[in-house]
Amino acid sequence: MFSNTIGSRNHSYYGNCNADWKDNRIPFIGLGQYPIPDDIKERLRYGQVPMLEFDGKRLVQSLAISRYLAKQFDLVGKNDFEAAQADEIVDACRDMLIMYMIHFHEQDEAKQAY
């Protein structure tokens, strides 16, 4: 279960690995505004998407889902060092996203220009 703006990396795991899966998306209305139906929201551990459901199990948080799927589809690397390099890239992207979100939410125009 993904919003229309979150989870595309996880979709690529399924598409590239010929996995049998169902894509359930929640439409994006605006920043932080997703009309998550109550019956779905109560199943979300932190009240937010994305969520991966399989075999009666639920996993939330996009990086946890990405790492899990990468392992399931043998995309992690050939050894521990290659796996660590993949984690390094994921963590760097996460850091950049956090910086972007801080900037995006900044109300002070002078700070936004920085």
Determine the pLDDT at residue 82: 92
Q: What is the DSSP string of 28-40?
A: --BTTB----HHH
The pLDDT of residue 8 is above 70: no
Question: Could you give the count of Cα atoms lying within 13 Å of 27 in the half-sphere of its Cβ?
Answer: 2
Determine the pLDDT at residue 113: 64
CA distance 7 to 66: 9
CA distance 114 to 110: 7
Q: Which one has a higher pLDDT value, 63 or 37?
A: 63
The pLDDT of residue 79 is above 90: yes
Confidence of residue 81 (pLDDT cuts 50, 70, 90): very high
The pLDDT of residue 51 is above 90: no
What average pLDDT does the segment 87-94 reach? 87
Determine the pLDDT at residue 13: 52
Give the closest residue to 10 by CA, choosing from 88, 63, 53, 54.
63
CA distance 30 to 95: 23
State the helix-helix crossing angle for 62-72 and 80-105, rounded to 10 degrees.
Answer: 160
